[in-house]
Amino acid sequence: APAMPPPTRPKTILITGCSSGIGLDAAIQLHKDGWRVFAACRQAKDCERVVREYGLETCLIDYSKPETIASGWEHVLTETGGTLDALFNNGAYGVGGAAEDTPVQALREIFECNFFGWHDLTCRAIATMRLQGGHGRIIQCSSILGNVVFPFRMAYSCTKFALEGHCDALRMELSDTNIKVVSLTVGPIRTAIREKSQAHFAKHIQPNVHKSPFKTYYEQKFIPRLYGPYKKDAFELEPEAVTKVLKQALSAKSPKPRYAVTFPSKLFMFLKRFLPVRFLDVVKLKAIGMYPVGKKLHPKQKLVEEVEK
């Protein structure tokens, strides 16, 4: 009788930022598709929840704590016997505010989580992928804000611009291997990123709003939007839109270096290539209701009587 073929082991993937949003949806969907998913969260209570509610395997990885990156990674390798087919870096946060109102410490903290931690985990994954015969996928959840900048998004944008440079360097350096590096330039997706940015805004930006040149803009527009009831952005999609593209990036024989997710992301990637810089600036400002800047970013102080009505 012919020998039975060896049982094929399921493909393995480590996904970070799985407490909610994009990471959680990707973990659930890939698990359903037969992947062995390690759904990392930065808090133990979320790790317990993804195991309890979704039957996923988990580990604790908080990018701002390097020791958890090391221990989380070791845990995954112990479980898989030292191999990994794919890494999806996704956990990140935003801190909104004008560039001149952003303290250096706020930048240090956001880079630690959104970029340095990703670099650390990615390098560990690449070392493993080289050892297993030079194959694997590194998928980075980037953003349209890593390609096109909008006002009051400087800190987050800078981390994503750094990430895009990182992807480009890795892609070229690994081009003689079968380790593929892909960035997903994600546009507006309904996740908890806005709510989760509130604490960072309160810590770093809010204390100095009273002396900011943009004081009235913060008070009349930015803070009400940040803390107010959730309003859907134009063309905003649910996290499954990202998961759909993630699956393409994981399964394509030779994946594209970048996949744009959502219409605004595709549109601005296109415009960036063809429009002169100053013209694109006006298009961007108009798109988010900040044009002309003199009027929109420095609105007249509303009269006290009006406010009291």
Q: Return the active site residues.
A: 156
182, 137 in Cβ contact below 8 A? yes
User: Rounded to an integer, what distance in angstroms lies between the CA atom of residue 231 and that of residue 221?
Assistant: 13
Which of 109, 111, 125, 110 lies closest to 40, judged by CA?
125
Question: 3-state DSSP call for residue 260?
Answer: strand
Tokens 């800078």 -> residue: 158
Q: Which two tokens stand for residue 293?
A: 């800047």
Q: Would you say the C-alpha torsion 137, 138, 143, 145 has a positive or negative sign?
A: negative
SS3 39: strand
> Counting Cβ atoms within 10 Å, is residue 15 exposed (0-12), middle (13-18) or buried (19+)?
buried
Q: Which among 42, 50, 161, 59 has a CA at the least distance from the CA of 113?
A: 42
CA distance 137 to 89: 11
Q: Which two tokens stand for residue 156?
A: 């987050």
